[in-house]
Every structure is written in structure tokens, then in C-alpha cells.
Amino acid sequence: MAPRILLARHGQTEWSLSGKHTGRTDVPLLEEGRRGAKLLGERLHRSPFDSLPAAEVRTSPLARASETCELAGLGERATAWDALLEWDYGAYEGMTPAEIQDIRPGWFIWRDGVPEGETLEQVTARADEVVSYARSEDRDLLIFAHGHILRSIGARWLGLPLDFAARIRLNPTSLSVLGWAYGEPAIEVWNDCGHLSV
């Protein structure tokens, strides 16, 4: 079977709850986020995943992602990878979209990028690095990371430009699976939060 990428977004934080752009600021998980990470882990340890024994596990080095991985019971298998860091939001770090619209009406991150942070091209290159690596392996890749970089990986897995990521939102502690259909890259599961309703 061709390799897949399983995407796990980190648990809820104070900033994700309030809608603040959280790039490189190391915001800790809320109790709700820790609970969600444990529920995600329980799901990954049950059928059909059964702990994904053959999968490689990678995590963003930021605490909210690595702690989610740890609480999900996969921390001992995980390797930190800088390619999975969240978008560097530069001057817009810690701001909500509404606050940014006040100073830059009509702003759209997937088109306009951010001042003093990563460019669209840099984010695309990091997402392409992850996709390329996953496709070069003969086993699944399970990654724990952040909303915008995971959405970017989803877009690039499909061979689409980065702005497609605007159309595929992700909730905290969600699980998504990128795989194949008819020999072409496909989304098998997206933004699944069923484990949180337990």
C-alpha cells in the first residue's frame, strides 16, 4: 500500500480558543486540550489504527504539539521536525483576524502573507518538504503539528496551490488522513473530531 500522512492537530490552547494567530509563541495546552489529546491517543490505539506500529511519528518541536503527541501515548516514538513548525506570523503574532482587519482591511493570509514573518513561498517549501519525504518512504507518517501548516500540507499533498488551504479548516485535536484514490493523492478523512464526543 502506498504511504499515507496522518495529521493530528494539537489540543486546544488559550490562543486557539480566542482565535489568535499562534505561530512560534509556545502557548501551553489548556486542560481541555490535554483531555482531547488523551482521547485522540485512545482512538489511535484502537482499530483501525491499532497504534500504527509501522508508522513513523514526527512532531513539531513546539510544546503544544509535542505534548499532544506525548499525551496521545506516542511521544517515545516521535522525532521533532522543524518543517512542522507553525507559520511564522511575524508582526501578526498573537493577533486575531478581526484585529488584523482593523489595520489592514481585506487582508487574507493565504493571499497576502504576513509582514516580518514567513512568506507564502517559504511555507509552501516546508509543506513540500513534508509531502516529498512522506512519498519517499514505504510506511505511513503520523505527524502532530499546527492548523496552518497542516492545512498547507493537505493542499500540497493534492498538488494544489497554498491558497487551497483556506478551504480546508482544522479544529484543535482533529485527525485527518491523506492517502490515495485511483492512484492519485486524495483526502481520506478531514478534520475528524469524533473522538472528542466521548
Which among 21, 67, 70, 86 is annotated as catalytic?
A: 86
Question: Is 86 marked active-site?
Answer: yes
- Cβ atoms of 151 and 176 closer than 8 Å: no
Question: Terminus-to-terminus CA distance in the chain, angstroms?
Answer: 31
Distances (CA, A) of 147 to 61, 103, 193: 15, 24, 14
Which among 10, 21, 148, 195 is annotated as catalytic?
A: 10
Cα(139)–Cα(17) distance, integer angstroms:
34
Question: Is 10 marked active-site?
Answer: yes
Could you tell me which residues are annotated as the binding site for substrate? 22-23, 64
Catalytic residue annotation: 10, 86
